[in-house]
Structure 1
């Protein structure tokens, strides 16, 4: 059955994935309208991206629109990112950005432009009204899309979801050669407003180099660290442990006292994870399937329920390591995203 042709808004970044998506959508017969969002304050990067987008638009003959969303982005994503680190959390700005910006603000603009659907270069798919993992497991981005509502998912198109990145690059660069060469092209950075190190962002707001104490799980002072915002749960470098012969890992972060608690890898292990619900199916109470605790982590079988206080409690069938407060706990039924929430202090008892 032939796909219904329609007017589709495509979020364009100036990179290979979204540019090639424009080509694929047009080849499928859709009327494509490009949208570029100015989210951060790096005007040089915006200029480079827009230059690439204009070249793609001219070659394919599509109209493009540029929207300044810096103020909204700062409110919903940037401030959340900065505040999270101040609180000792490890934020996930991409998962937070998607429901508010790319599939919130941008979707509204797409509908205003008369588009029926919105497309992106994400490696993901849509199946049965849910986000589905991409064919290319090494590039799958379904984890970052867990927060999208069903009403939004029904309007999504992911042209790259059934393709492998290794197959996309050669063809994309043949069609759009100015985007780079196979030898020199670099993957776009994961967090759009971080140039090299997230600490550079935090330095603009906080004195991040404030030394503090390192304690073991019994409360004994065993060393020193460089400033709590420079660490996440599971990190094993950048702090001292006097007389240590075995690796030590960050078990928890105390922002009020600028203190790290460290311990062995076995102390880092968790088989129960708590989360603040963010996106769940209507009437959700109980779920048996798999979960992810980080983007690059493997899925683990789990039983998940809501407790009396409204928290998500995931009982994992095997131990996981590096469960970081602030990251997303994402629920999967085989390759379909069911929903998820933001991870809370894993030391809490149910």
Structure 2
């Protein structure tokens, strides 16, 4: 089978390519240039070239910077401007890695696109990886279901320590086993605020309100805060921790309250991304990558919007984040919180 492997210069994509080649497939590699962070690509491309030479495979450099800027980078900036919490990795997977890169794979005549993600695909569904501590099904849940038949995740059945040990056992790949893991958001150097500073003034003092609307303090600019944050703002006379409950971007205000006020039992999605035909789901939902799965009922309207009622309360629901719906280890749907 002819397979294109997304190669980043990291251990996961390197072992993915090596594994598929050992299985007898015709493998080509592809490195994607997604952003212009200085020095970032040169180092990674050198690693990809070294691996491709060792494996004896052809590799491509695909410049997707304009597509990435349009589909991921600027929506990231604009979502924070709106006082919401973006999920750039989910957008990147849908539109770039499992979108534009898949188009490129098909243009080469490849039957499949493989990546180093820790997840599985079975019977047309994304499933949780065997190594749940590294599972990336949450971030892949935004994928177009029409892309799934073309995808392979060879590491989905592996544990991370097995992958590193395998790399360490191969002389030419030993350095990949010990190198530092890549950052979660590839274009953020230290903090997301540094990215926003290129587009807006982030240091504008504003009002801190309590849930009744009373001014109780000051803050350093709404874009420094996300739902659930408990530091970096002033609350006069407070004797217990306060948390960000809401962000009013247009007025540069944040609303704060006690932890109990963060509790939510229902929410909505503007549009749900379904992997099955259904109008109602009785399942579990994760409202953040590392959050516990919570039982819920999902009711889907004809326009694709959805209302979710939780059977247990959750804390810190953030507008803009992705909700992912599971039936045990199987992804049923996803959507961005309104």
Structure-2-length-normalised TM-score: 0.96
Query: Following the alignment from structure 2 to structure 1, what is the Cα–Cα distance between the partners of residues 300 and 231?
Result: 36
CA shift, 1:268, in A, is 0.2
Residue of structure 1 equivalent to 2:208: 214
Structure 2 residue corresponding to 1:235, chosen from 208, 216, 229: 229
In the alignment, structure 1 residue 13 sits paired with structure 2 residue 22: no
Query: Following the alignment from structure 1 to structure 2, what is the Cα–Cα distance between the partners of residues 42 and 180?
Result: 24
SS at match of 2:297: strand
Q: What does the per-residue CA deviation read over 1:22-78, in whole Å, with 9 as the maximum and x for residues that have no partner?
A: 111111111111011100002411000000001111111111000111011101111
Query: Following the alignment from structure 1 to structure 2, what is the Cα–Cα distance between the partners of residues 25 and 282?
Result: 29
In the alignment, structure 1 residue 42 sits paired with structure 2 residue 31: no
Residue of structure 2 equivalent to 1:261: 255
Residue of structure 2 equivalent to 1:124: 119
Query: Following the alignment from structure 2 to structure 1, what is the Cα–Cα distance between the partners of residues 228 and 210?
Result: 14
Q: What does the per-residue CA deviation read over 1:121-177, in whole Å, with 9 as the maximum and x for residues that have no partner?
A: 000000110100101111110011112223210111101101111221122133212
Equivalent residue pairs, number: 336
SS at match of 2:39: helix
Q: What do you get for the CA RMSD once the two structures are aligned?
A: 1.3
* Alignment CA distance shift 1:281-1:120 (3 Å): closer
In the alignment, structure 1 residue 190 sits paired with structure 2 residue 187: no
Question: Do 2:243 and 2:256's aligned partners in 1 also have CA atoms closer than 8 Å?
Answer: yes
Residue of structure 2 equivalent to 1:300: 294
Question: Do 2:165 and 2:177's aligned partners in 1 also have CA atoms closer than 8 Å?
Answer: no
Query: Following the alignment from structure 1 to structure 2, what is the Cα–Cα distance between the partners of residues 121 and 65?
Result: 17
Q: Any gaps of 5 or more consecutive residues in structure 2?
A: none
Question: Do 2:164 and 2:177's aligned partners in 1 also have CA atoms closer than 8 Å?
Answer: no
Question: Do 1:147 and 1:278's aligned partners in 2 also have CA atoms closer than 8 Å?
Answer: no
Question: Do 1:19 and 1:56's aligned partners in 2 also have CA atoms closer than 8 Å?
Answer: yes
Structure 1 residue corresponding to 2:152, chosen from 152, 157, 163: 157
SS at match of 1:72: helix
Residue of structure 2 equivalent to 1:81: 76
* Alignment CA distance shift 1:13-1:292 (3 Å): same
Residue of structure 2 equivalent to 1:320: 314
Structure 1 residue corresponding to 2:97, chosen from 98, 102, 116: 102
Structure 1 residue corresponding to 2:176, chosen from 167, 175, 179: 179
Q: Is 185-194 or 286-295 further displaced after alignment?
A: 185-194
CA shift, 1:310, in A, is 4.8
Residue of structure 1 equivalent to 2:278: 284
Query: Following the alignment from structure 1 to structure 2, what is the Cα–Cα distance between the partners of residues 171 and 94?
Result: 27
Question: Do 1:52 and 1:179's aligned partners in 2 also have CA atoms closer than 8 Å?
Answer: no
Query: Following the alignment from structure 1 to structure 2, what is the Cα–Cα distance between the partners of residues 146 and 113?
Result: 26
